[in-house]
Amino acid sequence: MKASPFISTILFLLLSACGDDMQSISKLPDDAIILAFGDSLTYGTGAKDDESYPVVLQELTHLKVINAGIPGEESESGLYRLSELLEQYKPQLLILCHGGNDLLRKKNIIKMESNIRAMIKLAKDKNISVVILGVPKPGLFLSSFEVYEKIAMSTGITFIEDLIPKVLGDNSLKSDAIHPNKFGYRIMAETIHSVLKKSGAI
C-alpha cells in the first residue's frame, strides 16, 4: 500500500524525531526472528489481522516477525509470558511495547517499571537485542511516559520515544481513543523499520 502525501509527511516527521539517540544493534542475520511483544498495540486492535504493525514490519524487513501481542495484558502477566516465548522462538531482536494497561488502570508504576526492566534483562541475558517503544500516559496532550526514557537510558537499549504518542495524537490515524487504525499501524512499522536500518540491525 502506498502512503498518501499526508501520511508520508507524518512519517517523515516521526522518523526525524526518532533518529537522534539510536543505539547500535548487531546486524540481524537473514534468518533472524523478531519478537514483537506487547499488548493490544502490538496485537493490532483496531485493524485487520494483516494490518498490525508486526505483519507490516515483516513485509518491510523480509524477516520473520512474531506477533506476540495480547490485548488488555498488564506488565506482570507479560513478564511471566515472555520467558516462555523467548525459549520457544529464540529471537535475535525483541521489540517491547508494554505497560499501557498498567497506566490506564492506575497500577503501581514502580512495579510496572520493575516488570519492564525484568523483561529487558530476560532478553539481554540471552544476547537478544531490545527496542522499546514509549507508551503515552493518559491525558489531553500525549507524550511518552518518562519512565520509559529512564529505563532505556539505564539499560542501553534503543528507545523510540515519540512514535506512539504522535500516532495516537492524530485522529486520522486512530480507530478509537487508544488504538491506531491501519494507517497508524503502518506508520509504526515503517518508523521501526527505519530505526532498525539506522541502528545497523538491517
CATH number at residue 115: 3.40.50.1110
Residue type, 117: R
Q: Which pLDDT value is given to residue 20?
A: 42
| Total count of domains within the chain | 1
Distance of CA 20 to the CA centre of its chain: 17
Question: Is a pLDDT exceeding 70 seen at residue 21?
Answer: no
Question: Is a pLDDT exceeding 90 seen at residue 197?
Answer: yes
Q: What global pTM score does this model have? A: 0.91
| Cα separation, 166 vs 189, whole angstroms | 14
Encode pLDDT of 42-67 as tens digits. 999 999 999 999 999 999 999 999 99
Please give the grid coordinates belonging to residue 1: 500500500
Share of the chain above pLDDT 70, in %: 88
Whole domain around residue 107: which residue ranges?
5-199
| Cα separation, 74 vs 54, whole angstroms | 20
N- to C-terminal Cα separation, the chain: 22
In this prediction, residues 35-40 reach a mean pLDDT of: 98
Encode pLDDT of 123-150 as tens digits. 999 999 999 999 998 775 678 999 999 9
